[in-house]
Amino acid sequence: MTPSRAEKSLTIVIPALNEQDKIADTIDGVLPLARELLDDFEIFLIDDGSTDATGAIMNEFAASDRRITVHHNAERRGVGAGFEYALSRAKFDAITLIPGDHAFQNEGIARMFKAVGAADMVITYRDNQSDRSVNRSIQSHSLRFVLNCMFGFWLSDYHSMIVYPVKWLRQIAVSQGRRLRLSDLRVDLAAPTRPHLCPGPREPERGVEGVIARAAAAHLFGAHRDHRLAAPPRSHPGCRSRSGSG
């Protein structure tokens, strides 16, 4: 008997501040991919107090598709606040954030969407960082090495796109009694030892990412090191498993 395929449903958060020249390109890239590659989705467009036409452009997209919701902040509140707004209203089990400045190219976003449902958490990484300056490369590699050693797992990138499990994020917010900060989430949720690795495309700008679909388990670190959540891993067609994190 062939095992049933996991449903590919996703809440997508796209925040932007004064990005009238790029927000349409971002949404025009994400929307067709979501329609093609996901079983169901919703998009939260977060206008973070923009003073240009960003909010008006978002409204136009929302008028054309009922799955798009626009939230306008009267003043700048930051990416984390927008993400938290969407998280509190998300109707699906998985959520991701895609910057509204068209930072990630469509081929990489497509690879991430294809991996939705392969595991409870999908972590992407950029594979064209060799064009960075020497100083930036040293700083980036050093910080990544320190964080990986501190928290006992091996991520290739701490600043790329992630598909988070909604239920775990909500537990972190409630149990810690604090507002979510995106910079914390990459170390609050740690992957185990058997990821499913999907190599990413080579892209000319910083929007390059492979996809690591992490096996479905996580440890909550920091103040909640004793709380553990787990679920059986699921395979993802076209991805290979490997014992290390790569």
Residue 197 Cα distances to 10, 51, 142, angstroms:
20, 41, 23
Per-residue confidence in pLDDT tens, the chain, 246 aa = 555 677 899 999 999 999 999 999 999 999 999 999 999 999 999 999 999 999 999 999 999 999 999 999 999 999 999 999 999 999 999 999 999 999 888 999 999 999 999 888 888 887 665 566 778 778 777 877 887 788 777 777 777 889 999 998 888 765 545 555 555 555 455 444 333 344 343 333 333 233 333 322 232 222 222 222 323 333 333 333 333 333
Specify the pTM.
Answer: 0.72
Supply the pLDDT for residue 13.
98
pLDDT of residue 69: 98
**pLDDT value of position 236:** 38
228 alpha carbon, distance to own chain's centre = 22
Determine the pLDDT at residue 148: 76
Q: Which domains does the chain show, CATH number per domain?
A: 1-103 (3.90.550.10), 120-246 (no CATH)
Q: SS3 letters for the chain?
A: CCCCCCCCEEEEEEEECCCCCCHHHHHHHHHHHHHHHCCEEEEEEEECCCCCCHHHHHHHHHHHCCCEEEEECCCCCCHHHHHHHHHHHCCCCEEEECCCCCCCCHHHHHHHHHHCCCCCEEEEECCCHHHCCHHHHHHHHHHHHHHHHHHCCCCCCCCCCEEEEHHHHHHHHHHHCCCCCHHHHHHHEECCCCCEEECCCCCCCCCCCEEEEECCEEEECHHHCCCEEECCCCCCCCCEECCCCC
| Predicted pLDDT of residue 129 | 57
CA gap 52, 17 in Å, rounded: 9
